[in-house]
């Protein structure tokens, strides 16, 4: 809980500073790049979490990987390292993206499918979600074979489950709730 609050404060400070310097769009792109890199690279996450690895080594690794990022983003690394909070980098990045999306009325739609969406399907889903919400939409496609088929669409607190596993679970509940004599 304390880590979440700390991540929120760092993310808010980065957003405020990037707004102040009029580089918020660039920093947002950096944060999305950092989020994707951290998500795809377990070794990097392990190094950043490790108390054994020296902060100077962590800083040189981050500089080498993210050499093209904005000055605000690279300074965020330095601040997190100086305050021994680099282990919160992933949380800070996630909170920044959330705050940016909130400030710019961008909704995040998460689509869970068995196979990756084709570009045509992705555009179709984006168009439909934009019609439903009336705001800009960012689409995240999650692959999960356990849904068997169909899809699950989640936008904020709303969820539409058109998966085969969801229909099977619904059918199972119906059968379990009926008392047979």
Give buried/exposed letters for 119-148 (b at 16+ CB in 10 A, else e): eeeeeebbeebeeebeeebebebeeeeebe
Pair 131, 146: CB distance under 8 Å:
no
What is the per-residue pLDDT for 23?
96
pLDDT (average), residues 110-131: 92
8-state DSSP, 151? E
Instruction: Encode pLDDT of 85-114 as tens digits.
Output: 999 999 999 999 999 999 998 888 999 999
Where, residue-wise, is CATH 1.10.520.20 in the chain? 2-102
Instruction: Encode pLDDT of 31-71 as tens digits.
Output: 999 999 999 999 999 999 999 999 999 999 999 999 999 99
Q: What pTM was estimated for this model as a whole? A: 0.77
What is the per-residue pLDDT for 132?
84
pLDDT (average), residues 129-158: 89
Residues 6 or more apart whose CB falls under 8 angstroms from that of 94 comprise 7, 11, 35
Instruction: Provide the β-strand partners of residue 141.
Output: 111
CATH 1.10.520.20 fits 2-102, yes or no: yes
pLDDT at 181 over 70: no
What is the per-residue pLDDT for 11?
96
What is the per-residue pLDDT for 179?
60
């Amino acid at each position: 809980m304390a880590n979440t609050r700390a991540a929120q404060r760092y993310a808010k400070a980065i957003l405020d500073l990037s707004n102040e310097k009029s580089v918020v769009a660039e920093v947002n792109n950096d944060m999305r790049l950092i989020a994707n890199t951290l998500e795809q690279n377990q070794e990097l996450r392990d190094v950043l979490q490790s108390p054994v690895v020296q902060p100077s080594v962590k800083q040189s690794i981050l500089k080498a990987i993210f050499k093209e990022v904005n000055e605000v983003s690279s300074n965020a690394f330095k601040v997190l390292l100086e305050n021994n909070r680099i282990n919160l980098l992933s949380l800070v990045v996630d909170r920044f993206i959330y705050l940016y999306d909130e400030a710019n009325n961008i909704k995040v739609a998460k689509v869970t499918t068995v196979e990756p969406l084709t570009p045509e399907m992705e555009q179709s889903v984006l168009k439909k979600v934009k019609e439903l919400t009336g705001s800009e939409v960012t689409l995240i496609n999650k692959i999960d074979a356990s849904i068997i088929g169909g899809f699950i669409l989640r936008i904020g607190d709303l969820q539409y489950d058109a998966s085969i596993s969801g229909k099977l679970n619904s059918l199972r509940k119906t059968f379990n709730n009926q008392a047979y004599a």
